[in-house]
């Protein structure tokens, strides 16, 4: 038996990183709460069929399954919390007035890791606005996400926008496609495969490959292609979002990016930070399904705590004061009330240095070591 060995993709968070993770999660949730998003806390596991029914296909493939000894039914550990928020909104909170603002934070477990993110257990936090996916709702969600990242200490934020249902929208009118070609064209665009588009007889879609990059340039490309102006309402919404964001983030647009946005509707976005590996958040508009089959529009975002912790964010300078065995209890209580962390000696052999303290007591007052 190997003592201390953990399964692949799982790890212990040690000081100061465990404390940093909680600090960052609290900063993000405090920001979300301040904007009127009330916190909900779904369970870590659900019945597999219930959870799978609300996940996109790739999410269903990422379920860690087990048998529940109490019910003899298959359970699944959540790989994502957003789907659970949809369940809560359309069941227990189905009669709550809309728009419904919900915030959340907690651990998720994925069946497989990725090369970019080898951890399988991750901390996810976010906000969902149920009942509207209007331009105003999109602006609110994007601004709250940016403010939450800023509160967590992220700088140099990039907001990468996409239009997940662009192909379906164009195929239905401006650039007609047969139903059997729509998926293939979508995949060719997602992989930037110009030859594949030509082979499919979809040359009209080739200009979309160059309609990515800085927002003004990308919008100009799309407007030049949009002879029927079918895209104009959403392009105007993108401009409104950009105006609201202002200098808070650098904005780019890749209109055909669909990887990870398979269940989003008119808007999707990814968030990146200076010096951070990979995306630190994503969001967009989507639909939640009620028990009676009715779909309800929604929009939201998820932020990932782990890359922020790995980058050293959230670490608060220690204010740990060493209390010798002779220290009075009332002195220790006063220091804690003032925001100090008190570390009491249990014997005369304990020292401030050995216990990782930054200060010791001198005449009842903390002094740096």
d(CA 84, CA 105): 12
Can you give the pTM of this predicted structure? 0.93
Helix (H, G, I), strand (E, B) or coil at 270: strand
Given a contact cutoff of 8 angstroms between Cβ atoms, the answer to whether 92 and 288 are in contact is no
110-119, 128-137, 261-270, 312-321: least confident range: 110-119
Question: In the predicted model, what is the mean pLDDT of the chain?
Answer: 92
Beta strands in the chain (DSSP E): 38-39, 45-47, 64-67, 74-77, 100-109, 121-130, 158-162, 213-214, 250-253, 268-272, 281-289, 295-304, 320-323, 341-344, 359-362, 365-368
Given a contact cutoff of 8 angstroms between Cβ atoms, the answer to whether 241 and 133 are in contact is no
Long-range Cβ contact pairs of 54-60 (< 8 A, separation 24 or more): 54/83, 54/84, 54/86, 54/87, 54/288, 54/289, 55/79, 55/80, 55/83, 56/262, 56/263, 57/262, 58/262, 59/83
d(CA 194, CA 155): 36
Is the preceding omega at residue 99 within 30 degrees of 0, hence cis? yes
The answer on pLDDT for 223 being more than 70 is yes
pLDDT of residue 115: 73
The answer on pLDDT for 301 being more than 90 is yes
Given a contact cutoff of 8 angstroms between Cβ atoms, the answer to whether 126 and 81 are in contact is yes
pLDDT of residue 243: 98
pLDDT of residue 59: 60
Helix (H, G, I), strand (E, B) or coil at 274: coil
């Amino acid at each position: 038996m190997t003592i201390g060995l953990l399964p692949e993709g799982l790890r212990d968070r040690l000081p100061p990183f465990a404390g940093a993770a909680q600090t960052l999660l609290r900063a993000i949730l405090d920001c979300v709460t301040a904007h009127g998003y009330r916190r909900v806390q779904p369970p870590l596991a659900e019945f597999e069929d219930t959870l799978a029914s609300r996940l996109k296909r790739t999410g269903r493939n990422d379920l860690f399954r087990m048998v529940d000894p109490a019910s003899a039914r298959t359970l699944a550990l959540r790989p994502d919390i957003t789907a659970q928020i949809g369940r809560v909104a359309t069941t227990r909170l189905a009669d709550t007035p809309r728009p419904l603002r919900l915030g959340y934070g907690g651990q998720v477990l994925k069946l497989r890791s990725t090369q970019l993110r080898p951890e399988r257990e991750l901390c996810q936090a976010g906000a969902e606005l149920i009942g509207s996916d209007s331009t105003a709702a999109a602006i609110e969600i994007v601004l709250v996400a940016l403010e939450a990242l800023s509160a967590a200490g992220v700088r140099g934020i990039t907001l990468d926008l996409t239009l997940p249902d662009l192909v379906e929208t164009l195929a239905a009118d401006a650039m007609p496609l047969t139903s059997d070609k729509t998926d293939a064209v979508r995949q060719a665009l997602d992989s930037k495969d110009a030859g594949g588009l030509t082979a499919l007889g979809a040359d009209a879609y080739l200009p979309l490959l160059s309609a990515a990059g800085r927002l003004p340039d990308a919008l100009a490309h799309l407007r030049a292609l949009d002879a029927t102006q079918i895209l104009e309402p959403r392009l105007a919404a993108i401009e409104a979002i950009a105006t609201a964001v202002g200098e808070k983030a650098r904005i780019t647009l890749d209109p055909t990016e669909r990887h990870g946005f398979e269940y989003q509707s008119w808007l999707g976005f990814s968030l990146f930070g200076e010096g951070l590996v990979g995306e630190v958040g994503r969001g967009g508009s989507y639909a939640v399904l009620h028990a009676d089959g009715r779909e309800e529009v929604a929009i939201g975002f998820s932020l990932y705590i782990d890359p922020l912790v790995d980058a050293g964010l959230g670490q608060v300078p220690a204010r740990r004061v060493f209390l010798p065995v002779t220290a009075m209890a009332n002195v220790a209580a006063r220091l804690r009330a003032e925001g100090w962390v008190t570390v009491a000696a249990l014997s005369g052999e304990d020292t401030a240095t050995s216990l990782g303290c930054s200060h010791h007591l001198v005449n009842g007052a903390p002094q740096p070591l």
